[in-house]
Amino acid sequence: MAEFYDALETRDPEKREKDLFSSLVEQLCYARDHSQAYSAVLTDLDINSIKDRSALAQLPLTRKTEIAQGQTDSPPLGGYATPRLAGFYNIFASPGGIFEPGGVRDDYWNFARSLYAAGIRSGDLIHNTFSYH
């Protein structure tokens, strides 16, 4: 019998899609309301209209060059981060002068689900060779 990480793995695909877009709307609202850069980027977008895959085309793209320029103008994160700087466990310096905030919660990288699917359980010893960039 198949073993699943949690009930989210086996929910109806239509329910999953609805849940994901609901979560996306919440995240976009949070970013707009708590981030200087995303407030500017999302100001003209009707976030509540993002309800399905076709609506994703309304989302503005943020280019790496824009992030780099923002981080030059307003170091270190260019106004793109939502928590205060003290809320991060670490900040990564990527090649090309881009800074990325580290985790603020358990399973920040969201690897628990994939590690579980690979058969890794609590107490197992693994050699982590994942690339984080």
- Which residue range is the domain that position 23 belongs to? 11-60
Number of domains into which the chain is organized: 2
pTM, full prediction: 0.71
> Is residue 54 located within the same domain as residue 87?
no
> Is residue 43 located within the same domain as residue 89?
no
Identify the pLDDT of residue 124: 79
What φ, ψ does residue 40 adopt, rounded to 5°? -70, -40
Helical H runs in 3-133?
Answer: 13-34, 36-42, 64-73, 112-117
Using one digit for the tens of pLDDT, what is the confidence trace for 72-95?
999 888 999 887 665 776 677 777
Residue 107 has pLDDT above 80, yes or no: no
Residue 45 has pLDDT above 90, yes or no: yes
What φ, ψ does residue 100 adopt, rounded to 5°? -125, 130
